[in-house]
Structure 1
Amino acid sequence: MQISLVIPVFNEEATIARALDRVLVQRDAVHEVLVCDNNSTDRTRAIVEEYAAHLPIRVIDVPVQGTVHARNAGFDAATGEIIARIDADALIEPGWFDAVASFFEAADEDVAAVTGAMIHFDMPRFRFDPFVRYYVDDPAERKRCEPVQFATIVGSNMAIRRKAWMSVRGAVNTAPGIWEDVDLAWALVESGYRTMLSPAMAAQVSGRRLLDPPRAYYRYTRSVVTTVRERGRADLQLAARVHVVLSMVNYFVRYFPARTWDPVERRYDWRLLRLEREARPIP
C-alpha cells in the first residue's frame, strides 16, 4: 500500500527538521513526501531540501496563502492510494506508517479517513485533553487498541483514501478563516463516508496555540463558527457557539500552566510569563 505524506509549511524553520527526522527513520514505509510551501520567508525550504538526498521529497510552491490551499495542493499532487498528513511540528511515533497501512487494510470501504491519537510534547499533560484518553505510551499496547468511531479528523495527524479525497474535492471549502480539517470531515460525512480514530497511529504535536494571547485564541476558536457558516450547516450553529465558549473556558484553565511550562526542563518556571509570544496565524 503506497502512502503519500503531505506537510503544509509556513515559516517552520524551528520545527520542520524534527518532523522530517521522524519520517526519515520510517523512510522505507513512505512512498513520497510532499512539502507544500505556503510562502515561507525563513529557512524552511532550505532545511527541507537538505533531506532530499535521504527521502523522496517534493516541494510544492503554493502562492495562495492559507493552510487549506497548501493542503489541497498536496492532496491533489499525491500519487499514493493513501494520503497521510501531518503538521510541520508533529512528531510521528515509531510504526506510524505501518499503523496507517494496517488501519486501511482492515477498514471497510466506507471508512474514508482516520485521525490518530495525539499528545502535546511541549505542554504539561492535561488529563482532560480530548485525545489524551486515546494516547497510549506503550507501543506494544498501542498496537492492541481498537480503532473507534470519531466525529472529525485532525490535520496534524490524519490519513485519507485518495479516491475519497477525489470524490469530495469539489465539495471542500477554501474560505479564509475556516478549520479546513473539520470542513473536510463534514464533506466526507455528507457524502456518505465515515471517519475514525486509531490509537495505534500516534503522534506528539505542539500545543503552541495555547500560548497565543486571549484575543488571538478567541479569533482562532471562532473559526468553527465560520466553518459552520461556510459549510451551510445551520443545524450546527448553536453547537459551534457552545464550542467557542467551552474552548475559551478550557483555554483559561490551561493558560498559566501552559505559559509557565518549560518543555526542556519539564518543570514550571514562572519567569516564562514575562516572555512576549507572537500569535500563530489563523489557518
Structure 2
Amino acid sequence: MKFSVIIPVYNRPDELGELLQSLKTQNYHDFEVIVIEDGSTIDSSEIIEVFKSQLPIQYLIQPNTGQGFARNNGMEIAKGDFFVILDSDVLLPEDYLQKLSQAIQDRNLDAFGGPDAAGENFSALQKAMDFAMTSVWTTGGIRGKMKDPSKYQARGFNMGVSKAVFEVTGGFADPNQGEDIEWSIRIKKAGFKLELVREAFVYHKRKNTLLSFAKQAFSFGRNRVNVSRFHPGAIKLVHWLPTAFLLFSLSIPVFYYFNNSLFVQSLGLLLFWSMGVILTSSIQNSSIKVGLLSLMTSASQLWSYGLGLPFELLKKAFSR
C-alpha cells in the first residue's frame, strides 16, 4: 500500500521541518509527501530544499484557500492508494505508518481517524492542553478512546481516506469550521467504513497560549453549528454538556445570594471536579505543575466551547 501524506501549511516552516524529520524516520517506506503552501507569507521553501533529497516530496504553492480546500488540492495530485492527512504541528512515532497500514488491512478500512497525545519533551502547558482535550473529566475521554471505533468522527490533524473515498465524496466541502467532522459524517453516509485507529496516534505539538487555546475551543463550539448546516442532526445532547457546565459554573455565585444549600452543594461539586482534574493529570503526567495547569486548560476548554455553541446558534437565528 502506498501512502500519500497530505500536509497543508500556513506560515509554519519550523513546524513543518519537525514533521518531515519524523516522516524521514518511519520504518514504513512506501509513501510520498505532498506539502501545500496555502498562501503563506513565510514560506517553507528552505525546509523543502533540505528534505527533498531525503523524502519524495511534492511542493504545491497556491493562494490562500483554507486548510480544507488546500488538502483537496493536495489529494488531487496524490499518487498513493491511501491519503493520510496531517496538520503541520504534529510529530509521528517511527512506527506510525506501519501500524496504520496494518490496521487498514486487518480491519478493511476505507478511512480512519487517529488520536493525539503529548510527547515526553512537551512543555507543561502543552501537556495540560492535551489533557483538557482528551480527559474523561472534560471531553468524556471520547476523543481517541471510544469503545466503539465506528462512531468516531475523524479530525483533520490526523485522519485519512482511500483514493476511492476521495473520488466518490469529493473531499472537504468547507475550507474550515469543522470541515473534518462534516466530511467524516458524509463518508459514513456514503457507505464507507471509517473507524478510530487508536494505535495510529500523533504527538500534537500545540503552540497555543492559554488565550489562544480558549479561542480555539470557542471556535470548536461554533464549528459544530456550521457542521449542522450540512447535517441537521450533527448537534447531539453530548455537545451541549460544556454549555451546561458553563451555566452550572455561573450559577454558583447566584446561589450564594439566593439559596445557601444549593450554593454549598454546587460549590462542592465544582471542587470535586477540580480535584479530579488536578489529581488525574498530576498522576498521569507525574507533575503537580501540569495538574494545576490542567485545571486552567480544562475549565477554559469547557467554558469556551460551551459559549461558542449557543453563540453561533443565536447568530445563525438572527441572521435569517
User: How many Å apart are 1:43 and its aligned residue?
Assistant: 4.4
RMSD: 3.5
Aligned residue in 1 for 2:13? 13
Distance 2:64 2:90 in 1: 23
User: How many Å apart are 1:26 and its aligned residue?
Assistant: 1.6
Matched, 1:56 2:56: yes
Distance 2:207 2:241 in 1: 20
> For residue 112 of structure 2, what is the amino acid of its counterpart?
V
Distance 1:202 1:28 in 2: 15
**Range moving further from structure 2, 217-226 or 9-18:** 217-226
Distance 1:7 1:123 in 2: 24
Distance 1:177 1:163, change over 3 A: closer
User: How many Å apart are 1:164 and its aligned residue?
Assistant: 1.2
Which structure has the larger Rg? 2
| Superposition map of 1:249-264 within 5 A | none
Q: Is the 8 A contact 2:99 2:199 kept in 1?
A: yes
Q: Which of the pair is proportionally richer in strand?
A: 1
| Superposition map of 1:52-201 within 5 A | 52-108=52-108, 111-121=109-119, 122-124=126-128, 126=131, 127-128=135-136, 129-131=141-143, 133=145, 148-169=149-170, 172-174=172-174, 177-201=176-200
Distance 2:37 2:100 in 1: 24
**Range moving further from structure 2, 213-222 or 191-200:** 213-222
Q: Is the 8 A contact 1:209 1:217 kept in 2?
A: no
Distance 1:9 1:240, change over 3 A: farther
**Please, what TM-score do these two structures have when normalized by structure 1?**
0.74
Q: Which of the pair is proportionally richer in helix?
A: 2
SS at match of 2:88: coil
Distance 2:81 2:36 in 1: 19
SS at match of 1:6: strand
Gaps of 5+ in 2: 120-125, 248-272, 279-286, 297-320
**Please, what TM-score do these two structures have when normalized by structure 2?**
0.66
> For residue 123 of structure 1, what is the amino acid of its counterpart?
K
> For residue 225 of structure 2, what is the amino acid of its counterpart?
V
User: How many Å apart are 1:239 and its aligned residue?
Assistant: 4.8
